[in-house]
Chains A and B, each alone.
Chain A
Amino acid sequence: MKTYERITAIITSLGGVWIMVYAWHTLKLGSIHVPDAGFLPFLCGAALAILGIVWILILQWKKEQGNEGSAERRLWHRPLLSLTLMVLYGWAMEIVGYITSTLIFMVAWQQIIEREGWVKTMVISLIGTLAMYALFVYLLKVPIPSEFFVG
């Protein structure tokens, strides 16, 4: 955890410096009498740069205490897979239409993330897709992407 925190702290500091340069160079700071568009971004960038350094110092202080252990086993690949599915779902929605993309998404989720059997997968996917369609189209009257296969 500490390594990740240290890397994030360094990125925070460097990000802060970059924002300061961008605010000063591109946006322009103006003056204290007439502050310009870069005035507050510059202050925020400076704050981030300082806070990143403070965070690194705190991590150095805490060095001796060691890492906190967690009893629970955590599966990092599930969020990664689900995020990939979400990106593909967003991309496919306007191409193949709402119903098709939603059905494929639900099936993929149950198979890849939850590793359910095919019968359960199909039941959950069909009910989920129809329920969402009914909610958004009939109840809330929300415009959704039309079906590619229907035209």
Chain B
Amino acid sequence: MDIFTGLINGFSIALTGTNILFCFIGAVIGTAVGVLPGLGPAATIALLLPITYVIGSPVTAVIMMAGIYYGAMYGGSTTSILLNLPGEAASVVTCIDGYQMAKKGRAGAALGIAAIGSFIAGTVAVVGLTFFAPPLAEFALDFGPPEYFALTTLGLLLAVTLSGGSIVKGLIILVVGLLLAMVGLDPISGKIRFTFGSIVLQGGFDFVTLAMGVFGLGEILYNLESTLKTEIVTTKIGKVFPTLKDWADSKWAIFRGSVIGFFIGIIPGGGAVISSLASYAVEKKYSKHPEEFGQGIIQGVAGPESANNAASSSSFIPLLTLGIPGNAAIAMIFAALMIQGITPGPFLVAEHPDVFWGVVASMYIGNAMLLVLNLPMVGIWVQMLRVPYGILAPVIVLFTTVGVYSVQNQVFDIYSMLFFAVLGYGMRKLKFDPAPLPLAFVLGPMVERSLRQSLLISGGDLTIFVSRPISGTLVAIFVILVVGQTVFFIKRKTGGNKASAA
């Protein structure tokens, strides 16, 4: 099936009544969680994973999940601009100039350019996904166990190094995620591992309980510690459609943001946060008026908001073509596909073209829906901030508890979710980034299987990982990354010590 035929088929699937409805529901929920600080897209998708069992159709389930993910990128800018409070991690940088614009009475222009930039970048990235993903999937058909082992370990390492937090803590979480994935039956020998006599643990931990515990309840427990109250919005929004001058000032920032976001989104661990930071840095560096950044310049909103949206769409490329989720939210979508009995990877385009093209086509529709939802209706979303956390938190607890119970109708799942909630809470308290945990958990079985198969194929010869061109290249990147990070760390430490000695 060529790209255009696939896309036409995709539109015929995405434009059915049910799929349009679920795309809309995803876009609405995504915008809502983007607006509400303290509940990110990964947590929301985790909370909704049990619903995918009820939905039945994999295309419909993933269309909704994808809508939540890129919808959150649209909604995240609203609180950044109006309250100087990022609704979503990727919108942190939008606070800098967006809030300054709002203070100058230009909140409407900032919100408008954020929505339009997001729409353009989101669409550009989906076009990229349309043309880039099928050939990449075809290329990945040549991958054997050594290539998969090299790719998954590189992806996991990138997820840790690019997350921006402590690398040591990131690596610890990564290893913990791999170990949690090993609980239950060994995939090759059938031996039982880490169950300590428990029969229910023989099937391993369920991804839904892990995701809902660490991301859903863990976040709730952490937020409950906070004594800060959400301010009631008093900022006047004004006209949301940007003027011709605003458009002229922003168009190149939107274009650059789209390109930066698209390429950073493809890299595992890249994602929306890094792309928005990179876009802001580029805009400031190449601006004729860098001194105006931080004072409320429109390019400081247009670039990062475009970049985070482009990245959220392009991060579907490694998932749909290689079966490698690049960030926590995409790992949840990976799980949603697995729940439906579909393994994401190079065979997805050929074996489930309805899923691949249906989801891609729905992204075009979803982006258009989000533009309508975010431009004229921005005032309604802002009102959502009036919902007290005292109501929201117990409702989320009820939702997760019944949701996780409904998967297998056993109370054990509730307790294992609470165990993961405590783990997630502890991670936040000790300033661990929880993102590598679900990535390691979903990729764990693939890492182990490909490592052991590679060693079996080669008779224990470790050069199998470097002697094949693709895995060799990936291993070389891995080594460069590790050596580079180590040298950077030592230089920073010795430099810091010299400075303090002086």
Contact = CB atoms under 8 A, between A and B. Distances in A.
Interface stretch (B111-119, B225-233, B322-330, B471-479): B225-233
B221 A83 contact: yes
Contacts, number: 158
B233 to A, nearest CB: 21
Nearest to B174: A47
A15 B169 CA distance: 15
B168 A51 contact: yes
A40 B448 contact: yes
Interface residues of A, number: 64
Interface stretch (B127-135, B186-194, B299-307): B186-194
B482 interface: no
Contact of B406 (A36, A90, A142): A142
Interface string B177-196: 01100100010110101100
Given A79-B225, A105-B394, A136 B430 contact: no
B452 A82 contact: no
B375 interface: no
A55 interface: yes
Contacts of B179: 19, 41, 44, 48
A148 to B, nearest CB: 15
Given A90-B411, A91-B411, A64 B221 contact: no
A124 interface: yes
Which of B189, B224, B393, B430: most chain A CB closer than 10 A?
A: B224
A114 B397 CA distance: 14
Interface in A100-151: 102, 105-106, 109-110, 113-114, 116, 124, 128, 131-132, 136, 140-144
A93 B401 contact: yes
Interface in B316-334: none
B120 to A, nearest CB: 36
A48 B172 contact: yes
Interface in B217-262: 217, 220-222, 224-228
Interface stretch (B263-271, B345-353, B418-426): B418-426
Contact of A113 (B191, B224, B459): B224
Nearest to B427: A8
A136 B54 CA distance: 10
A105 to B, nearest CB: 7
B399 interface: yes
Given A35-B452, A79-B225, A106-B394, A136 B402 contact: yes
Nearest to B178: A44
B460 A5 contact: no
Contacts of B21: none
A25 interface: no
A76 B394 contact: no
Contact of B175 (A33, A51, A110): A51
Contact of A140 (B51, B191, B393, B500): B51
Contacts of A35: 451-452, 455-456
A33 B455 contact: yes
A1 B398 CA distance: 32
Contacts of B462: 32
A40 B178 contact: yes
B391 interface: yes
B171 interface: yes
Nearest to A78: B224
B182 A51 contact: no
Contacts of B406: 136, 140, 142-144
Interface in A29-87: 31-41, 44, 47-48, 51-52, 54-55, 58, 61, 64, 72-76, 78-79, 82-83, 86-87
B398 A40 contact: no
A94 B221 CA distance: 24
Contacts of A36: 189, 191
A79 B429 CA distance: 12
Contacts of A52: 172
A142 B459 contact: no
B405 interface: yes
Contact of A93 (B194, B394, B411, B459): B411
B445 to A, nearest CB: 10
Given A33-B459, A54-B168, A58-B168, A79 B398 contact: no
A40 B149 CA distance: 13
A144 B403 CA distance: 10
B220 to A, nearest CB: 8
A64 B54 contact: no
A40 B168 contact: no
Given A34-B460, A87-B415, 17 more contacts: A4-B429, A5-B430, A8-B430, A22-B194, A41-B194, A44-B175, A54-B168, A58-B168, A78-B224, A79-B222, A82-B220, A83-B221, A90-B401, A109-B393, A110-B390, A113-B390, A132-B399
Interface of A: 1, 4-5, 8, 12, 19, 22, 27, 31-41, 44, 47-48, 51-52, 54-55, 58, 61, 64, 72-76, 78-79, 82-83, 86-87, 89-91, 93-94, 98, 102, 105-106, 109-110, 113-114, 116, 124, 128, 131-132, 136, 140-144
8 contacts: A33-B459, A41-B182, A48-B175, A72-B227, A93-B405, A106-B398, A132-B398, A142-B402
Interface of B: 50-51, 54, 168-169, 171-172, 175-176, 178-179, 182, 186, 188-189, 191, 193-194, 217, 220-222, 224-228, 390-391, 393-395, 397-399, 401-402, 405-406, 409, 411, 414-415, 418, 421-422, 425, 429-430, 447-448, 451-452, 455-456, 459-460, 462, 493, 500
4 tightest CB-CB pairs across the interface, nearest first? Answer: A33-B460, A90-B414, A32-B460, A37-B186
